[in-house]
Amino acid sequence: MKRYRVKAHLESPVVVRRERQSQRSEGVQFIAGTLLRGALAQAYLQYYGHADATFRQLFLDEEVCRFGPLDPADRVFPLTANSCKRVPGFSEDGKHGITDLLTVSLKKRLSQRTVAQQRCRNCGQELKSHSGFWHLKANSTPTEPKRRWRRSMAAHVGIDRPTQTAAESIFFTLPALEPEPTTDGEASLHGWVDAEQDALQALKQLLSQEDHILRIGHARTRGYGRVRVTIGEEVPLAPVDFSGWSKGILSRTAPELSPDRYFLFTVSLPTGAVLVDDLLRYTLDPAGMVPWLPPLPPPVADTRTFDTPGKEFEGGRLWCVTAVAHHERLRGWNAAHGLPRQDEWLVTRGSVYAYLYEGNSTGQAALHEKLRDLEANGIGARRNEGFGRVAVCDDFHLRFAPTEAI
């Protein structure tokens, strides 16, 4: 499968039932891949009348086609991202900058030294976690999308079906994303699909048959959810230099650990993941589905990595140093049966896991190969709804690590 950009333009408000129970969430900020896939599947059935072999490939076979979420920008802040409590945001327009605290937490686990609490570099105020979406401008400086869409509540009176009049005592509100008129005419969301060549052609054909207009989200019969969707160019692969990344992080967090002998890496989940353990219980631990990964460390703040047993890997030893991950509830709709499906637990978007390997170059090379596989295949359930994408050694942690001595 190759990855292609998807662009979506809201032509009417989209109602997205609130499914997130995250404490950090300010409300619905994006359209889940589940809804994009559902809208395309519905358009397919309306056009062709039945679920044939192509339908099953496009919407049920996750080795042929996967649909990512539609986001206000193409990058998600990791859960380790923090910013000033008073003036949060990237260092632009007088904001106080973003600080990533992964290196601080690595330092606590890997070294015996005490680590001072981080505060805002500009004003000394406390830091607080910073969530949402960002992207790089043409000049490679980071920025957050200007608020190009409103989040609003649409209020409705329930309709009494037999009499076609307003039903008594039924009044409800729906959270909606509304397009906001902007000077440059842009109110776009950014997404992606992973697809085999045939699947890509079938999707493009379907979209052109629909004049690129899909009905996305809930309350579609009430006039909501008209979205113009186009599939664009291929997203080029940009492989990260794992060893270089590890060297950079180790020099800031544990310079006594030689890069010849130690390899540090992160596994990030930018779209969230549905992870279960070997007894099919929901878990925050990727080791439940990736047998060669070591388990998460005990949830005790002062656990030192080298006091935990780790796990044998290719003649060396692999530890999970730290993890910043939360669960949130995920409601779903079973596309195949048209029925609500049981709630699931999603590992939140932006969750990060850091691991350390001690071993020789052969072991490190074997590990790199496993990590490339993980990036290519993703992890966990419901990958064709965009969940379970894996990013290894995210540049964010190096770029926004605190610069002062820690």
Give the residue with the Cβ less far from Zn ion, 84 or 274.
Answer: 84
Give the residue with the Cβ less far from Zn ion, 125 or 258.
Answer: 125
Give the residue with the Cβ less far from Zn ion, 10 or 84.
Answer: 84
Q: Are 247 and 333 in contact (CB under 8 A)?
A: no
Instruction: Please report how close the Cβ of residue 86 comes to Zn ion at its closest, in angstroms.
Output: 5
In the complex, the residues that contact Zn ion under the rule CB under 5 A are 84, 96, 120, 122-123, 125
Give the residue with the Cβ less far from Zn ion, 6 or 98.
Answer: 98
Place of tokens 């606590």: 108
Give the residue with the Cβ less far from Zn ion, 125 or 360.
Answer: 125
Helix, strand, coil shares of the chain, percent, nearest 5, are 20, 35, 45
Place of tokens 């990590």: 371
E strand residue ranges, 226-310: 226-234, 262-269
Residue 140's SS3 state is coil
Give the residue with the Cβ less far from Zn ion, 123 or 157.
Answer: 123
Number of Cβ within a 10 Å radius of residue 400: 23
Instruction: Please report how close the Cβ of residue 401 comes to Zn ion at its closest, in angstroms.
Output: 18
Instruction: Please report how close the Cβ of residue 121 comes to Zn ion at its closest, in angstroms.
Output: 7
Alpha helices (runs of H) in 300-404, residue ranges in sequence order: 361-377, 396-399
Instruction: Please report how close the Cβ of residue 122 comes to Zn ion at its closest, in angstroms.
Output: 4
Instruction: Please report how close the Cβ of residue 123 comes to Zn ion at its closest, in angstroms.
Output: 3
- Residue 27, Ramachandran bin (φ over 0: left; ψ between -120 and 50: alpha; else beta): left
Instruction: Please report how close the Cβ of residue 103 comes to Zn ion at its closest, in angstroms.
Output: 20
Place of tokens 């979420």: 69
Give the residue with the Cβ less far from Zn ion, 95 or 370.
Answer: 95
**Separation between Cα atoms, residue 132 and residue 350, nearest integer Å:** 9
**Separation between Cα atoms, residue 6 and residue 44, nearest integer Å:** 18
Instruction: Please report how close the Cβ of residue 178 comes to Zn ion at its closest, in angstroms.
Output: 31
With CA atoms as reference, report the closest residue to 327 among 66, 86, 21, 30.
21
Give the residue with the Cβ less far from Zn ion, 84 or 203.
Answer: 84
Extract long-range pairs of 46-53: CB within 8 Å, 24+ residues apart. Answer: 47/206, 47/209, 47/210
In residues, how long is the chain?
A: 406
Q: Are 274 and 285 in contact (CB under 8 A)?
A: no
Instruction: Please report how close the Cβ of residue 301 comes to Zn ion at its closest, in angstroms.
Output: 25
DSSP state of 158: E
